[in-house]
Structures are given as structure tokens and as C-alpha cells.
Amino acid sequence: MKVFSLVCLLALVPAVAGAAQAHSKAAAVAPTGAARTPKSVRTIELTGGDTMKYDLASIHAHPGERLHVVLKSIGTAPKVVMAHNFVLLKAGVKPEEFVNAAMDARATDFIPAAMQDKVIAAKGLVGPGETVDVTFTAPMKPGTYTYLCSFPGHYMVGMKGELIVK
């Protein structure tokens, strides 16, 4: 039995080594996160802190423009009581209805699964010093689209903004 186990182990070593080497080569040639973002994508840096407000109340974009929103939490309160997320709603969606549904969606970072069809882009919760990012295409239809934090109470206090497409 020991001989059979040893033979199986020896047969696996070259396969595992080959897979590791292939993975290593792929990692060596794979671009970094920043390099993967096409030059045609514009980055928007957004912060949220203990004041429950984003530092940008509006973002302007052209129809169909690619945007990369980077949200950083600059607060100090613990994540369990003061986390932030980024949710960009489709035109015509009532933000109050979305955040009311979000109150019961802790498991999905307060982004309700039943309302995914109302969302253009969203990214989950960040706590102090954490960062998340999301890349999306601005709507082709000119207009004003609401973005908000759906952590309970944050939208109502003013953690929201407008994506103005024109």
C-alpha cells in the first residue's frame, strides 16, 4: 500500500510543478490592476466618512463614457456602525424605495437582490481606511441619475449625489 501511495505521489509531482510554473508565468505577464484599466476610462475618486456625506455631490459624464469610481472610507467609526457603499440607480428609480428595501439586505451589503434591475452600478461596504471600486458605462440617455450610500440612515442624512449625463 505504501509503495502504491508513493508511486501516486511521484506521478503527481511533475503535474503540480508544471501547473505551478504555468501559473507563475501567467502571473508574471498578467498586468496589474491599474494597467488593466483601459485609457478610455476616467477615474473618479470619492470619499465618505463619519459625516455620512460623499465629498462629491455631483459627477458629470458624457453619454456612454466609461467611469471608474473609487470609494474610500476616511472615517474612524467602526465598520459595523459606519460603513459606506456606492449605488448608482437607473433613471426613474425612487431612492427612498431603494434604501427602504436595503435596510433588510445586510447580507448583501445593503444592496437588495430583489432590486438589482434598478441599479446601474454598485459596490459593497467599506470601513475605515478601506477602498472599493467599480467600473461602468454612463447611460446613453442624458439625464440625472442618483448615486447613494444604502447603509441604513445614510441616504436620509445626505449621503447621495448625482451623475449628470450630458
- Which residue in 140, 160, 141, 145 sits closest to 66, CA to CA? 140
Per-residue pLDDT tens digits of the chain, which is 166 residues long: 443 333 333 333 333 333 333 333 333 333 333 444 446 999 999 999 999 999 999 999 999 999 999 999 999 999 999 999 999 999 999 999 999 999 999 999 999 999 999 999 999 999 999 999 999 999 999 999 999 999 999 999 999 999 999 9
Counts for the chain of helices (H) and strands (E), in that order: 5, 8
146 close to 121: Cβ distance less than 8 angstroms? no
Q: Give the model's pLDDT for residue 8.
A: 38
Cα dihedral 69, 75, 76, 78, rounded to 10, equals -60
Q: Can you point out the beta strands (E) in 28-165? A: 41-48, 58-61, 66-73, 84-89, 119-126, 131-137, 143-148, 160-165
161 close to 147: Cβ distance less than 8 angstroms? yes
Q: Does the model's pTM come out above 0.85?
A: no
149 close to 85: Cβ distance less than 8 angstroms? yes
List the chain domain ranges.
Answer: 1-30, 33-165
146 close to 160: Cβ distance less than 8 angstroms? yes
CATH class of this structure's domain 33-165: mainly beta
Q: Give the model's pLDDT for residue 115.
A: 97
3-state secondary structure 25-67: HHHHHCCCHHHHCCCCEEEEEEEECCCCCECCCEEEECCCCEE
Greatest Cα pair distance, the chain, in angstroms, is 73
Q: Give the model's pLDDT for residue 39.
A: 61
The Cα–Cα gap between 81 and 145 comes to 27
Here the cell at position 80 is: 459595523
